[in-house]
């Protein structure tokens, strides 16, 4: 996507094999890129959420392996690097998927061929991600058009989203925001309700920044406003991304997603989940078995923002000494999901329909 007219991806390869990312911890106040020179840099970038979003975490891990193998292409170094990267964040299954894929491609090769093969496969993972997200957008655009028609083509199509599942969360396009960009480009009058997404505010900071850069009308709302807007008929559909969806269709996504799905169900608002194939965990059926990341309490007790003097800083919002809990994700049971939108098409959130789209996975799990 474009930033001030210049096309960007969220991660790319520079001359000499250095990997460059957009440092998302600085947005929306500053747009800056950051080089990753070694495995340590890649692991740090994922753990500190300089890169985040399930598909981008996977892509960064793939390049992290390349950087590790440049220093030492042995079996032992490959295994140690996979372990190190896998420990960075527990919930997004794309991380494990990318590392398993890379290790599978590299294991059987002699060490002196590994670096080149690793870079080639990491680049392919990135290209595949872009293609999948473009296709997800095209499928979901069909749903947007259907709802627009049902609404009689009057006013605007109000879409509610949670967290950031835009191009910053993937290599490009995004999952849940891909149809929003495509709808906007096609002239559909789409308007997005952007949940701020406490505690890290990925909605207010990243989704709003992406939409503003692309010229998509949007309004940032507090996390608790969605139900009220749905009761008032101000939301035509919800669409979110996911960090891990089980083979039976349970959806794990940013904390607060479940409450939006409950409110949508109660108000008859369609609730869609956009995801690429690598976000499906074919080894799990029950969403309650998904490991939920718990992050530091200070993400809850402080807020980051820009002050009146223009300086960016962290501000404590709780009494000194109050404890805080920071569960980063929750699980939306499949019964609350209207449909899953994948790169292969739209399906109901259940094992049979997912296997229909991914028949090669039907003997897994
Ligand atoms: O903690 P984050 O910012 O990595 O969480 C991101 C999300 O929850 C996204 O919705 C999810 O990864 C899907 S991104 C296409």
21, containing H or E segment: strand 19-22
Strand partners, 157: 190
267, containing H or E segment: helix 257-267
- Reply yes or no on whether the pLDDT at 365 is more than 80: no
Confidence of residue 16 (pLDDT cuts 50, 70, 90): confident
* Signed CA dihedral, 180, 185, 189, 194: sign only: positive
Phi/psi at 312 (5° precision): -90, 135
Cβ atoms < 10 Å from Cβ of 144: 23
pLDDT, residue 142, reads 98
Ligand 1 centroid vs 207 CA: distance in angstroms? 11
Supply 294's token pair.
Answer: 């718990």
Give me the catalytic one of 101, 172, 223, 243.
243
| pLDDT tens string 23-32 | 999 999 999 9
Cβ atoms < 10 Å from Cβ of 363: 8
pLDDT, residue 97, reads 98
Ligand 1 centroid vs 150 CA: distance in angstroms? 30
What is the rounded average pLDDT for all residues in the chain? Answer: 97
Of residues 239 and 14, which shows the higher confidence score? Answer: 239
User: Contact, 23 vs 59, CB < 8 A?
Assistant: no
Ligand 1 centroid vs 203 CA: distance in angstroms? 10
Supply 285's token pair.
Answer: 């059926």
Confidence of residue 362 (pLDDT cuts 50, 70, 90): confident
Question: Do β-strands 6-7 and 345-347 pair in parallel, antiparallel, or remain unpaired?
Answer: unpaired
pLDDT, residue 191, reads 98
138, containing H or E segment: helix 111-150
The proportion of the chain whose per-residue pLDDT surpasses 70, expressed as a percent, equals 99
Mean predicted confidence (pLDDT) in 299-322: 96
169 lines ligand 1 (CB under 6 A): yes
Ligand 1 centroid vs 84 CA: distance in angstroms? 21
Ligand 1 atom at minimal distance to the Cα of residue 240: 10
| pLDDT tens string 76-123 | 999 999 999 999 999 999 999 999 999 999 999 999 999 999 999 999
- pTM beyond 0.95: the answer is yes
The edge-to-edge listing of strands for the beta sheet with 339-342 is 218-221, 190-195, 157-161, 237-240, 271-274, 339-342, 345-347
User: Contact, 177 vs 167, CB < 8 A?
Assistant: yes
53 lines ligand 1 (CB under 6 A): yes
User: 277: number of CA atoms within 13 Å, CB side?
Assistant: 18
243 counts as catalytic: yes
Ligand 1 centroid vs 311 CA: distance in angstroms? 27
60 lines ligand 1 (CB under 6 A): no
Strand partners, 195: 221
90 lines ligand 1 (CB under 6 A): no
| pLDDT tens string 152-191 | 999 999 999 999 999 999 999 999 999 999 999 999 999 9
Confidence of residue 272 (pLDDT cuts 50, 70, 90): very high
Between CA 267 and CA 158 the distance in angstroms is 15
Between CA 140 and CA 340 the distance in angstroms is 9
349 lines ligand 1 (CB under 6 A): no
- Reply yes or no on whether the pLDDT at 363 is more than 80: no
pLDDT, residue 11, reads 98
Torsion-angle region of residue 196: left (phi > 0), alpha (psi -120 to 50) or beta?
alpha
Strand partners, 13: 19
pLDDT, residue 334, reads 98
256 lines ligand 1 (CB under 6 A): no
DSSP track, 203-264: IIIIIHHHHHHHT--EEEE-TT-HHHHHHTT--SEEEE--SEEETT--EEEETTHHHHHHHH
- Gyration radius (Cα) of the chain, Å: 20
pLDDT, residue 10, reads 98
| pLDDT tens string 203-260 | 999 999 999 999 999 999 999 999 999 999 999 999 999 999 999 999 999 999 999 9
- Reply yes or no on whether the pLDDT at 17 is more than 90: no
pLDDT, residue 15, reads 85
Mean predicted confidence (pLDDT) in 145-156: 97
202 lines ligand 1 (CB under 6 A): yes
Ligand 1 atom at minimal distance to the Cα of residue 328: 1
């Amino acid at each position: 996507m474009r930033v001030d007219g210049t096309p960007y991806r969220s991660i790319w390869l520079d001359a000499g094999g250095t990997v460059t990312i957009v440092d998302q911890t600085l947005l929306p106040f500053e747009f800056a890129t950051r080089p990753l020179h070694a495995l340590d840099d890649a692991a740090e970038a994922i753990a500190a959420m300089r890169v985040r979003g399930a598909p981008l975490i996977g892509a960064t891990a793939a390049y992290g392996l390349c950087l590790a193998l440049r220093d030492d292409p042995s079996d032992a170094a490959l295994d140690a690097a996979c372990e190190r990267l896998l420990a960075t964040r527990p919930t997004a299954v794309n991380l494990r998927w990318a590392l398993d894929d890379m290790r599978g491609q590299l294991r059987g090769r002699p060490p002196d061929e590994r670096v080149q093969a690793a870079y080639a496969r990491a680049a392919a993972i990135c290209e595949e991600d872009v293609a999948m997200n473009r296709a997800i957008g095209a499928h979901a655009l069909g749903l947007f058009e259907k709802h627009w028609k049902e609404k009689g083509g009057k006013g605007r199509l109000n879409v509610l989203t949670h967290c950031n599942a835009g191009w910053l969360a993937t290599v490009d396009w995004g999952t849940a925001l891909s149809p929003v960009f495509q709808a906007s480009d096609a002239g559909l009058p789409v308007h997005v309700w952007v949940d701020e997404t406490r505690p890290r505010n990925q909605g207010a900071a990243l989704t709003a920044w992406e939409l503003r850069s692309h010229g998509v009308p949007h309004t940032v709302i507090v996390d608790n406003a969605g139900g009220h807007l749905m009761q008032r008929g101000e939301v035509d559909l919800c669409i979110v991304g996911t960090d891990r969806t089980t083979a039976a269709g349970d959806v794990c996504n940013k904390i607060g997603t479940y409450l939006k799905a409950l409110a949508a169900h109660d108000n008859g608002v369609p609730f869609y989940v956009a995801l690429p194939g690598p976000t499906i965990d074919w080894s799990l059926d029950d969403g309650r078995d998904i490991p939920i990341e718990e992050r530091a309490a200070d993400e809850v007790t402080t807020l980051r923002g820009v002050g009146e003097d223009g300086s960016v800083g962290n501000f404590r919002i709780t009494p000194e000494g109050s404890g805080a809990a920071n569960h980063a994700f929750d699980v939306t049971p499949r019964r609350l999901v209207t449909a899953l939108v994948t790169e292969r098409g739209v399906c109901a959130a259940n094992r049979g329909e997912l296997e229909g789209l991914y028949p090669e996975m039907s003997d897994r799990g």
